[in-house]
């Protein structure tokens, strides 16, 4: 399929998008923008987006993605609570992944992939168990690195995003594919911003 055919297919899918998907993606975009602006409203927007997305992904047969969104829901509740209770505490410093971090990251990807693939193949009617498992496994690893404030989290998250875009288009979810492309761009910018911060910190330490 050439680029013109891809565009035509995308536009046709876009015309058939139900209102619920528009609402879910709208709140997803709001969450990302509020996160970049460092506003606490990102959490209620994220919770609404996740609840809607969980239902839509499950209905589309993307069971691993649906389970991933349940994790996002839990982390949104936790993040909201953490912000309110400990908003005066400084965030952990940004750093690069160590050899031990990479071993853990690879272990998360492998274990999550094997577990999800096994469950999807044996206990669901998933038509895309391989892709669904891979997208979710790499996202899990990326979120673990993000929690530890490791710059490499953006790399893992974008590996997940890169595979998720065609998967979402294949499953007839063009708006979520567009949202994932938006998240891909945000992740690239995030990596650039964090890399600048690391260099500035290293320079400041050297000067001292």
Rounded-to-integer distance, Cα 41 and Cα 34, Å: 7
The kind and range of the H/E element at 40 are none
Q: What is the CA angle 144-65-31, rounded to 5? A: 70
Residue 93's CB: how many other CB atoms inside 10 A?
A: 9
CB 94 within 8 A of CB 195: no
99-122 b/e (C-beta count within 10 Å ≥ 16 → b): eebeebbeebbeebbeebbebbee
Per residue in 30-76, pLDDT tens?
888 887 666 788 889 989 999 999 999 999 999 999 988 888 888 78
CB 175 within 8 A of CB 165: no
Question: Under DSSP, is residue 128 helix (H, G, I), strand (E, B) or coil?
Answer: coil
CB 67 within 8 A of CB 137: no
Q: Tell if the pTM clears 0.85, that is, is over it.
A: no
Per residue in 147-156, pLDDT tens?
788 999 899 9
Rounded-to-integer distance, Cα 55 and Cα 63, Å: 10
Per residue in 90-126, pLDDT tens?
556 789 999 999 999 999 999 999 999 999 999 999 9
């Amino acid at each position: 399929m050439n680029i013109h055919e891809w565009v035509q297919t995308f536009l046709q899918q876009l015309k058939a998008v139900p209102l619920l998907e528009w609402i879910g993606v709208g709140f997803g975009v709001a969450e990302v923008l509020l996160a970049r602006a460092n506003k606490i409203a990102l959490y209620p927007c994220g919770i609404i987006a996740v609840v809607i997305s969980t239902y839509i992904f499950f209905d589309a047969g993307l069971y691993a993605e649906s389970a991933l969104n349940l994790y996002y829901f839990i982390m949104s509740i936790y993040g909201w609570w953490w912000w309110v209770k400990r908003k005066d505490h400084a965030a952990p410093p940004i750093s690069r992944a160590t050899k031990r971090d990479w071993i853990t990251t690879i272990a998360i990807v492998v274990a999550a992939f094997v577990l999800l693939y096994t469950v999807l193949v044996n206990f669901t009617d998933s038509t895309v168990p391989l892709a669904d498992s891979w997208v979710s496994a790499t996202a899990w690893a990326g979120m673990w690195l993000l929690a530890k404030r490791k710059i490499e989290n953006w790399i893992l998250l974008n590996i997940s995003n890169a595979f998720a875009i065609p998967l979402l288009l294949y499953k007839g979810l063009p708006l979520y594919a567009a949202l994932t492309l938006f998240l891909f761009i945000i992740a690239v910018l995030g990596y650039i911003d964090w890399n600048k911060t690391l260099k500035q910190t290293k320079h400041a330490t050297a000067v001292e």
